[in-house]
A and B are shown apart, each in its own frame.
Chain A
Amino acid sequence: MAFRLASSPHNHSGSSTSNLMRTVILATIPGIAAQWYFFGAGNLIHIVLACMAAIITEAVFLKLRKQPILSRIQDNSALLTGLLIGISIPGFAPWWISVMGAVFAISIAKQLYGGLGQNIFNPAMVAYVMLLVSFPLQMTTWPPVSEITGYELSLWDIFNVIFTGLTLDGHTAHQLMQNIDGITMATPLDTMKNGLAMGNTVAEIQTKEQFSWLSGLGWEWINLAFLAGGVYLLSKRAILWYIPVGLLGGLFVISFIGYLWEPDSVGSPIFHLFSGATMLGAFFIATDPVSASTTPKGRLIFGALIGMLVYIIRTWGGYPDAFAFAVLLANMCVPLIDYYTQPRVYGHK
């Protein structure tokens, strides 16, 4: 009787890249829905645009590299990259922003490095940084929450803003960002940064209308929704807990120290945890299996490094939010982190 010998792993859970990516995409739905509710349908349009651009670019590059096109696209990784770009782009940004970002992410940050599994930087974040550095004006057109502006925009209006720059009534994106009194509304993180620079205290700034009980009006719910999606991912074991815990822990500890030190001139830990891209980044961006660290201890360090960098750049840097920069900087450290955190092989000293 002959035994068939196969190499390890002998027990396979049946998961594949395609299924994993699909789970992650499903888990973003609560967050996207919250964004839709508070900021209008702009992000939905950008998500569609970015996903289409990402998939077309992926197909073109696979064709150029003479690789199987259909099976590679079905791994859904390009779709996820496009989705993350679409989520992170401001809702009133012009259409070419998301298209350009997705094309840049797939072509330069992913395929030029060798395709899926080879990229050292997170493609969506490379694209985001490229857009933020190149087009600062367009990348700050976050719509204010409709409770502040006092009017609802129809889907058709938002569609027109994205594709022509004007609504049907001829308002520009920057006019749409004004409140009833005609003051342009920045995001809570931006308002906090500018307010502190002008010498106000945190408590004074938080009396403004963009702020609410946890952090910013609307932003807290978006972050909670992404947190819920992240918990779903953890329960499905699509991601491991090390990176999110390290990241949120790192951000909490450093912002808590800063808060104890100078409670008037830095945001509270809760404000930082539920502002901007924190939850989206902790569960969906930093956990990218390709560009993140791969050892258990390394993942904790990687996450904590991102958390601390986010706080440092938010507090002292030039931009209001810092997730993309923090993730890219941490990506650079991954080879070093992995080198020093190799787990002990059983039986060795």
Chain B
Amino acid sequence: MSQYRDIIYQGLWKNNPGLVQVLGLCPLLAVTATVTNAMGLGFATLLVLVASNTTISLIREYVPKEIRIPIFVMIIASFVTTVQLLMNAYVYELYQSLGIFIPLIVTNCIIIGRAEAFASRNKVLPSAADGFFMGLGFASVLIVLGAIREVLGQGTLFDGMDLLLGDWASVLRIEVFHSDTSFLLAILAPGAFIGMGFLMALKHAIDAQLDKRHKAQPVIETEPVVETESSTS
């Protein structure tokens, strides 16, 4: 069980794809202007990540080492196409507002990174779990950043949620404060970079606090390090 605990810890916190590996910055910065967009892209990425990790783990014995990357990319591309068609069919307006960033999930470095670093070396269940929690870690960063930018930029939360969840969800819209002038910086790309920087700083601050508390107590158990990786993007 400790293996799964470690996968959860790695995906959601220690090796968070958004905050620590800093992978997939392009969609992370581009679509997080509102929570709805962030959630849509986050869940699409999550879905692709779980599916591709599972598949690649299943076929890992049969893939020749020399041509593994093209094969991984083809598998990922087929899942992305599936997700794209599904979104086109069921959440058409969200599909339109995310635009090019759905097909661009293919090039998201997190997915190929997890395929190469984890799924091609581990059994099916751990690989699927890794995909799920890495995807969840990425999606949560997207959603938090989207929430910050949406509140600062237009003073609302969950605006346009009905595009993602159906008509009933328009009641979720919260108006935090009313303003006639939107704060464009938060909505535009620079706001995403600044917000991302603050999130990373916050994570470092929390880690430093935890370290301090950890050092104050005697160390009881040390977590085994399952894998060390350096993925590039």
Contacts and interface: CB of A to CB of B under 8 A. Distances in A.
A133 interface: yes
A133 B181 contact: no
A138 B181 CA distance: 9
Interface residues of A, number: 8
Interface in A107-145: 108, 130, 133-138
Contacts of A138: 181
B188 A133 contact: yes
A298 B181 CA distance: 41
B181 to A, nearest CB: 6
Contacts of A137: 181
A108 B183 CA distance: 16
B184 A133 contact: yes
A108 B188 CA distance: 17
A134 B187 CA distance: 9
Contacts of A136: 184
The residue among A108, A133, A134, A135 with the most chain B CB atoms within 10 A of its own CB is A134
B185 A130 contact: yes
A130 B183 CA distance: 10
Interface string A85-118: 0000000000000000000000010000000000
A134 B183 contact: yes
A138 B180 CA distance: 12
A135 B183 CA distance: 7
A134 B181 CA distance: 9
B172 interface: no
Dominant SS among interface residues on chain A: helix
B194 interface: yes
6 contacts: A130-B185, A133-B185, A133-B188, A134-B183, A135-B184, A137-B181
A130 B184 CA distance: 9
B112 to A, nearest CB: 32
Contacts of A108: 194
Interface in A274-306: none
B184 A134 contact: yes
Task: For the complex of A and B, list the 4 residue pairs with the smallest distance between their C-beta atoms, beginning with the closest.
Answer: A134-B185, A134-B184, A134-B183, A130-B185
Nearest to A136: B184
Contacts of A130: 185, 190
A108 B197 CA distance: 11
Contacts of B186: 134
Contacts of A133: 184-185, 188, 190
Interface in B165-191: 181, 183-186, 188, 190
Nearest to B187: A134
Nearest to A135: B181
Contacts of B181: 135, 137-138
Interface in A123-177: 130, 133-138
A138 B184 CA distance: 12
A298 to B, nearest CB: 27
Contacts of B183: 134-135
B227 to A, nearest CB: 34
A130 B190 CA distance: 9
